[in-house]
Amino acid sequence: MATPKDLPEDIGGFIRDLRQTAKISLRQLADKAGVSNPYLSQIERGLRKPSAEVLQQIASALRVSTPAMYLRAGLLDSEGQQGVLAAIAADPELTIAQKQSLTQIYETFRNENARNNPAQETSEEQK
Average pLDDT over residues 19-35: 95
Q: Could you give the CA distance from residue 99 to residue 68 in angstroms, rounded to a whole number?
A: 9
Q: What is the pLDDT of residue 35?
A: 96
Nearest-angstrom CA–CA distance, 66 and 80: 17
Q: Under CATH, to which class is 4-125 assigned? A: mainly alpha
Tell me the pLDDT of the chain averaged across its residues.
78
3-state helix, strand, coil in the chain (%, to 5): 70, 0, 30
Domain ranges in the chain are 4-125
Is pLDDT of 51 > 80?
A: yes
DSSP 24: -
